[in-house]
Amino acid sequence: MIQGEFVIPNKLGLHARASALLVKTASRFASEIRIEREGIEVNGKSIMEIMMLAAGKGSTVVLKVEGPDDAEAFAAIGELIRNGFGEE
């Protein structure tokens, strides 16, 4: 398992568009992807579960990836988060 902490940098946090991009990216991989915030852990391939985290700008989330392509999945999702989901 690979895991690491990320701070949500974009203005609106994990709103619908950002959550959809995260799910779209996560769904490309076979590995299990989990996102945790303040002790609540959700499926990284479920937009509804991700949005329930209510992770606003500045929130810290833990990305956990386990499976056959975990390194690639962790890198892709980590880059997406660090780049603010492509938002200004």
Is 40 one of the catalytic residues? Answer: no
**Residue of 2, 9, 15, 43 marked catalytic:** 15
Task: Please give the C-alpha separations between residue 66 and each of 17, 73, 79, 88, in angstroms, as whole numbers.
Answer: 25, 9, 17, 31
The strand pairing partners of 42, in sequence order, are 35
Helix and strand element counts for the chain (H, E): 3, 4
Q: Which two tokens stand for residue 24?
A: 């779209």
Residues acting as catalytic residues: 15
